Amino acid sequence: MEAILKLFGEYFFKFCKMSGYDRMLRTLGGNLTEFIENLDALHSYLALSYQEMNAPSFRVEEGADGAMLLHYYSDRHGLCHIVPGIIEAVAKDFFDTDVAMSILDMNEEVERTGKKEHVVFLVVQKAHRQIRGAKASRPQGSEDSQAGQEALQGTLLRMKERYLNIPVCPGEKSHSTAVRASVLFGKGPLRDTFQPVYPERLWVEEEVFCDAFPFHIVFDEALRVKQAGVNIQKYVPGILTQKFALDEYFSIIHPQVTFNISSICKFINSQFVLKTRKEMMPKARKSQPMLKLRGQMIWMESLRCMIFMCSPKLRSLQELEESKMHLSDIAPHDTTRDLILLNQQRLAEMELSCQLEKKKEELRVLSNHLAIEKKKTETLLYAMLPEHVANQLKEGRKVAAGEFETCTILFSDVVTFTNICAACEPIQIVNMLNSMYSKFDRLTSVHDVYKVETIGDAYMVVGGVPVPVESHAQRVANFALGMRISAKEVMNPVTGEPIQIRVGIHTGPVLAGVVGDKMPRYCLFGDTVNTASRMESHGLPSKVHLSPTAHRALKNKGFEIVRRGEIEVKGKGKMTTYFLIQNLNATEDEIMGRPSAPADGKEVCTPGNQVRKSPAVPRNTDHQQQVYKGDPADASNEVTLAGSPVAGRNSTDAVNNQPSPDETKTSVVASGPVLSAFCVVL
């Protein structure tokens, strides 16, 4: 687990660089110590934008020869092993040094907010060139290497003992001095040779100092306030006159430590944030946001006092107004002015970015809705026109008319539809037709035929158009058989019994094309359309009427067809027509596109010696059904048509009710247990 967390620390540093924090991280310090000391300041700055951020805290105590003690505080337990991975990656990338880190101590400190993990690391750093020089001059023997390792381990143990015995009391030797003594490996300057020059006396008057630094507080070891800036006195009334301790006026927000000199000295290099207590504020200010001060704690050894150099912690102009403050209250040399203005601009940019993200999400939702509506529109368009024709019209191209050498057209209508309309309410007619056409529309998808149009009770489909296929006749025939079955499920609103339909089919050439600009339709032209219409109008209730060409197209295709005989067809003269009875190779479920079910588990043998289930036979007990008496093989082909002649599209259409004696069934009927449809009806 330790190795995994260390590798994660190395990767997290690379991730921060890739996320755009590379330049900011490089400018934190000129060496590793300064880098670590300013991490808390970076976290405090980022907290201005990410208020929920809960960052760890780092504290450094320097030693000699690059050695130092790193104190790590975090509310998250068990993640301290990420720190060596981050520090080693930073040292190698930014400062070209190698770092060896080991844990001297690990404990939990109970602060006012709860338990926090406190880990002390010993950090020893060495430049790469020193390492290369040492390697070059190192003898090859393993004895010196082993001795060096033992010496290093002994040094670490001695330093750990010294650290654990360090007193932390501001009245005695300072904490940092004791730590420096524990890690001091030799004499000499600690980090550089710069020596500052201090004046003999401070050339600043007290009033000028308090005006120049309007936000500062000086307090002693007992937290008694000795001095305060003019604006501190303005916004925290009574801080000098009431003689209260500093912890009675303020609470520490960051770092999360106890409010006493000892804890402050431990985190002397951290950035402190103090917040005024509401109960100590006047009534007029209790309704306003409490003042937050952010700054640095500096221990003055000669005076035994601590000075807090601070500025108001404000993120935007809105917070400045809510605190009843102005930019003039902040000293001109204080960068808080620039920070507020820059942060205000950044917040505006973030708000704009959020708005853009919101608009982007709205556009994405609208795009999805548009895609759904476009799909609905295309579905409606494809229902009105063939897909390739609709695509050409969408692209703005003209659709050229096409000639099809052969196709099969079907017409159907409802028997006695005029009488039904006269006896029913309009809504009943609409419901009846909608129920019937919905069933027919589903069958067009099952048998892959194209629905041309519906006019009143007339329904027209075509096979082989607009996409030519060789099996157009079989598809239309199966569709017709499905129509006849579906019609039994639609009730006549007058009688309450299933409606009856007439179906006519004809095969021949047609010309097809799109006509009209408003509500364009894909129309078929030619004598084939007229002939198919005549087959329907001269048909019989619940019958599928075939023309001679349609009969030839279906011959020997597995359909049972009977010869009707020669009849007089309006505009065509005498024609020998046929009736389609059933598909011998498909069950009713297959015709209707339903999941097939076993027909009582019985299997019969066809003349082709193929074992199959008994085909579903359309049964119709209507008195106008053709009836064959006797054995199917020797049955007479006489057709008995009870009732009055069927009314076609024109009142002059007539139907020949007496077929010629030479009419025979064109399909082969199996002998034995396989019965014809008419025998079953009988």
Per-residue confidence (pLDDT) for residue 398, from 0 to 100: 78
Of residues 113 and 457, the one with the higher pLDDT is: 457
Structure confidence by residue, pLDDT tens digits, 474-505: 999 999 999 999 999 999 998 899 999 999 99
Mean pLDDT of the chain: 78
pLDDT confidence bin for 314, thresholds 50/70/90: confident
Pick left, alpha or beta for residue 643 (phi over 0 → left; psi -120 to 50 → alpha; otherwise beta): left
Task: Judge contact between 622 and 543, C-beta under 8 A.
Answer: no
Q: What is the dihedral of CA 552, 553, 557, 563, to 10 degrees?
A: -40
Q: What Å distances lie between residue 562 and 32, 83, 268, 422, 528, CA to CA? A: 102, 93, 109, 35, 22
Asked if residue 602 has pLDDT above 50, the reply is no
| Ranges 113-122, 459-468, 504-513: which has the least confidence | 113-122
The count of other CB atoms within 10 Å of the CB of residue 328 is 8
What single-letter amino acid sits at 13?
F
Task: Judge contact between 98 and 66, C-beta under 8 A.
Answer: no
Per-residue confidence (pLDDT) for residue 96, from 0 to 100: 86
Q: What is the dihedral of CA 485, 491, 492, 498, to 10 degrees?
A: 40
Task: Judge contact between 93 and 35, C-beta under 8 A.
Answer: no
Task: Judge contact between 492 and 501, C-beta under 8 A.
Answer: no
First-to-last alpha carbon distance for the chain, in angstroms, is 87
| Ranges 12-16, 468-472, 610-614: which has the least confidence | 610-614
| Average of per-residue pLDDT across 126-135 | 53
pTM for the predicted model, two decimal places = 0.44
CB < 8 Å & 24+ apart, contacts of 620-623: 620/542, 620/681, 621/681, 622/500, 622/541, 622/542
Name residue 453's beta-bridge partners: 460
pLDDT confidence bin for 616, thresholds 50/70/90: very low
Q: What Å distances lie between residue 536 and 174, 475, 481, 504, 547, CA to CA? A: 113, 18, 14, 4, 10
pLDDT confidence bin for 238, thresholds 50/70/90: confident
Identify the three-state secondary structure at position 173. coil
Asked if residue 329 has pLDDT above 90, the reply is no
The count of other CB atoms within 10 Å of the CB of residue 583 is 23
Domains of the chain with CATH codes: 1-126 (3.90.1520.10), 207-333 (3.30.450.260), 398-592 (3.30.70.1230)
Per-residue confidence (pLDDT) for residue 212, from 0 to 100: 93
Listed in sequence order, the residues at least 6 apart from 436 whose beta carbon sits closer than 8 Å to its beta carbon are: 414, 486, 487, 490, 499
pLDDT confidence bin for 164, thresholds 50/70/90: low
Per-residue confidence (pLDDT) for residue 402, from 0 to 100: 83
Name residue 103's beta-bridge partners: 121
Asked if residue 675 has pLDDT above 50, the reply is no
Q: For the chain, what percent of residues have pLDDT higher than 70?
A: 76
What tokens were used for 232? Answer: 């501190």
The DSSP letter of residue 668 is P
| Helical ranges in 385-456 per DSSP H | 387-394, 417-423, 426-447
